[in-house]
Amino acid sequence: MDRFDNIPEQALAWHRAGDRAALATVIETWGSAPRRTGAQLAISGKGEIAGSVSGGCVEGAVVVEALEALEDGTPRELEFGVSDDDAFAVGLACGGTIRVLVEPVGGALSEALLAELAQARADRRAICYVADLETGSRSLMATGHDERLRMDRSGFDDTAPRVFIGVHNPPLRLIVVGAVHIAQALVPMARLAGYDPVVIDPRETFASQSRFPETTLMHDWPDEAVQALGLDARTALVLLTHDPKLDDPAIEQGLHGNCFYIGALGSTRTHAKRVARLEAAGFSAEKIARIHGPIGLDIGAAGPAEIAVATLAQMTRVLRRGA
């Protein structure tokens, strides 16, 4: 997933400053495309841009269309198709086709609706922007598209082929319990993959800025810290202390919460003991099955860095494909 950006917010700022603005959104792709469906480009009336819909010359054509849309106030659906021979020049690495929706702010996309979308993003509330290209209606929906939100997958409605659903999710977050060597490898990897990492460990010698530079650190007891942070559908919880006194209370918070991933370090034998403790605490087999233990994809990982790779890969698989 792309890192949390400010494309809608930038369009709103340009519009409110009197410069006028349009939002261009990738609504469909075929073949190879460098930007996913839902990627956005903001264009001001002065020709300034923020974001990207292709990474190549398609942007130039989109800007021209956006400036024309600002003059007549009507949205446009654009389609760009290229052969493999021409693909590189327009940013479609192996050839393909993309469709782009251009919406002038103040027209079909009202200022009030865009402001509401920006506020939802600021409040870390997952929301869908729904554009009916047949009727011209636009709306925001916080419910009814749970699977799309969980999978972070914008696209046309399966039951209404002219209704585009743009997913706007909060940024991904990784909560790591245990400031150990694996965490030192996992945190920077996760940050590159678009996660905002938080490391929890009451042992200040372990959870130090020298070991985890530019990382949010919490020295509270893990269950208290996890509870304070909250666990939503955009959060992964990883437990690495290998100490039941620290891991188990945080796991219990995870099982009560809505995080999309829970992974716990330990061998098969260790995990069996963990399962027995959770059963004794009253958790159902269905809830306990949410825990990925031993943690990570089975790639034969050896050493902290490889275990971190396996863990991040498993997090990604669960995020994109489901548990």
pLDDT tens for each residue of 112-141: 999 999 999 988 889 999 999 999 999 999
The mean pLDDT of 92-116, rounded to a whole number, is 87
Residue, of 107 and 131, whose pLDDT is higher: 131
The three-class DSSP label of residue 173 is strand
How much is the pLDDT for 150? 76
Tokens 């790591």 map to which residue? Answer: 176
Backbone angles phi, psi at 93, to 5 degrees: -55, -35
12, 16, 71, 190, 216 from 112: Cα distances, Å: 10, 11, 20, 35, 34
Measured CA to CA, the distance from residue 318 to residue 19 in angstroms comes to: 42
Smallest CA-to-CA distance from 102 within 35, 10, 11 is with 11
Measured CA to CA, the distance from residue 270 to residue 153 in angstroms comes to: 36
Scored b (16 or more CB within 10 A) or e, 217-238 reads: bbeeebbebbbebebbebbbbb
Domain with CATH 3.40.50.720 in the chain: 172-321
237, 281, 312, 319, 323 from 260: Cα distances, Å: 8, 22, 13, 7, 8
The mean pLDDT of 57-80, rounded to a whole number, is 92
The mean pLDDT of 7-12, rounded to a whole number, is 96
Give the number of C-alpha atoms closer than 13 A to the C-alpha of residue 107, restricted to the C-beta side.
20
How much is the pLDDT for 89? 53
Handedness of CA 125, 10, 129, 172 (dihedral sign): negative
Q: What percent of the chain has pLDDT over 70?
A: 92
Neighbours of 262 (CB within 10 A): 27
Number of H helices, E strands in the chain: 11, 15
Residue 75 backbone class (left: φ over 0; alpha: ψ -120 to 50; beta: rest): beta
Q: What is the pLDDT of residues 222-279, one digit of tens each?
A: 999 999 999 988 899 999 998 999 999 999 999 999 899 999 999 999 999 999 999 9
The mean pLDDT of 214-219, rounded to a whole number, is 95
Backbone angles phi, psi at 193, to 5 degrees: -85, 0
Before 213, cis peptide (omega within 30)?
no
Q: What percent of the chain has pLDDT over 90?
A: 75
Would strands 235-239 and 261-264 be described as parallel, antiparallel, or unpaired?
parallel
Measured CA to CA, the distance from residue 52 to residue 200 in angstroms comes to: 36
Residue, of 93 and 35, whose pLDDT is higher: 35
pLDDT band at residue 82, thresholds of 50, 70 and 90? low
CATH architecture observed for domain 172-321 = 3-Layer(aba) Sandwich (3.40)
pLDDT band at residue 83, thresholds of 50, 70 and 90? low
Q: Which two tokens stand for residue 139?
A: 């709306």
Measured CA to CA, the distance from residue 202 to residue 250 in angstroms comes to: 13
